[in-house]
Structure 1
Amino acid sequence: MRHARAAFVTAVAACLLTTALTTATAQNSSRTVSVATQGLYAPSDLVLAVGPGPDAANATVTRSVTLTCAPSPAGTHPAAADACAELAAVNGMFTELSKPAPHALCTKEWAPVTISATGVWEGRRIDWSTTYANGCTMNAELARSTALAF
């Protein structure tokens, strides 16, 4: 009788331990699933800034906006959805957004204006800037860009 009772207690303990382990595994599995579903989108969060100065390190920021593109367009950019679409079309290559305007008439004065983009695009670190001779040149070259027109 004594051995039967010990065997019964051992069986119940094993059953309880198996149940506890199964529950813990299920809880860990659900945590893994929830963490994985949070990372479906690579981050795309940028700060775009413009201001007078010869380069991004020495420019005085006069305007800046935030732009988030994943999972959905957001931020303080005035046309976030259009800006995200434009950046997606060039795979986040900001150099593709600034094109010389063939018929622009600007003075040759040197009053440098720098525009910059800092942050992350689809998980890739972005630290881009370009400097224009003056505001007229910048506006002419960015006239066709929604992303950099803020």
Structure 2
Amino acid sequence: MQMSWHRRMLAAATVAAALSISALWVAPAQPSARNGTYFYMVMYRGGRASGPVESEMTLTCFPEGGNHPDPGGACMALREVGGDFGRLKIAHADCTMEYSPVTIKVLGKWRDQRIKFIRIYPNRCLVAAMSDWVLNFP
């Protein structure tokens, strides 16, 4: 029994669609993996690095990218401290003294050096200000 031309085209299109979807699902992006500089940053509500995620973002440097609101500025600030989030400068910001703690967790690599940074901040505004706007979550 021979398949009609329309059935063969439909079968081929179905197989092609399934293969392209599975390829997208199997191969997640590895931002800037070649040069070893990328970060995944998560903001958790409360004083623990678990629980409800309030926001998350990615940042790559060399070249700058990710979904960070200002990758160029963030990478420049990180270059000044050698990728050490704990040494970032405190920037001026008009933050309230509201106590609504958030926990920041950063995982990644800075020039092939593994980075793991976890810190609790009193509120979301102070996260950005106390990290020279590197941790300025959307």
Same fold by TM (over 0.5)?
A: yes
Corresponding residue of 2:76: 85
1:128 to 2:128 alignment: no
What amino acid is aligned across from residue 42 of structure 2 in structure 1? A
**Distance change in 2, residues 1:140/1:81 (3 Å):** closer
**Aligned partners of 1:78, 1:60: CA distance in 2, in Å?**
22
Match of 1:61 in 2: 53
Q: Distance in 2 between matches of 1:60 and 1:101?
A: 28
Tell me the SS of whatever aligns to 2:59: strand
Question: TM-score, structure 2 length as denominator?
Answer: 0.62
Map of 1:49 onto structure 2: 42
User: Deviations for 1:57-83, whole angstroms, at most 9, x for unmatched residues?
Assistant: x2422211111112x111111111111
1:51: how far off? Answer: 2.4
The TM-score, its normalising length taken from structure 1, stands at: 0.58
User: Residue deviations 1:3-26, cap 9 Å, x none?
Assistant: xxxxxxxxxxxxxxxxxxxxxxxx
Structure 2 SS opposite 1:138? helix
Aligned counterparts, 1:1-150, within 5 A: 42-56=35-49, 58-70=50-62, 72-97=63-88, 99=90, 105-107=96-98, 109=99, 111-138=100-127, 140-142=129-131, 145-150=132-137
Give SS of 1:62's match: strand
* One-letter code aligned to 2:48: D
Cα distance in 1 for residues equivalent to 2:77 and 2:124: 22
Aligned-partner residue type, residue 84 of structure 1: C
CA contact (8 A) 1:115 1:129 kept: yes
Q: Secondary structure at the match of 1:54?
A: coil
The gaps in structure 1 that reach 5 residues or longer are 1-40
Quote the offset at 1:50 in angstroms. Answer: 1.2
Superposition CA RMSD, Å: 2.6
Q: Using a 3 Å threshold, how does the CA distance of structure 1 residues 42 and 50 change in structure 2: closer, same or farther?
A: same
- Identify the residue that residue 18 of structure 2 maps to in structure 1: none
Question: Matches of 2:82 and 2:56 in 1, distance apart?
Answer: 22
List runs of 5+ in structure 2 lacking aligned partners.
1-33
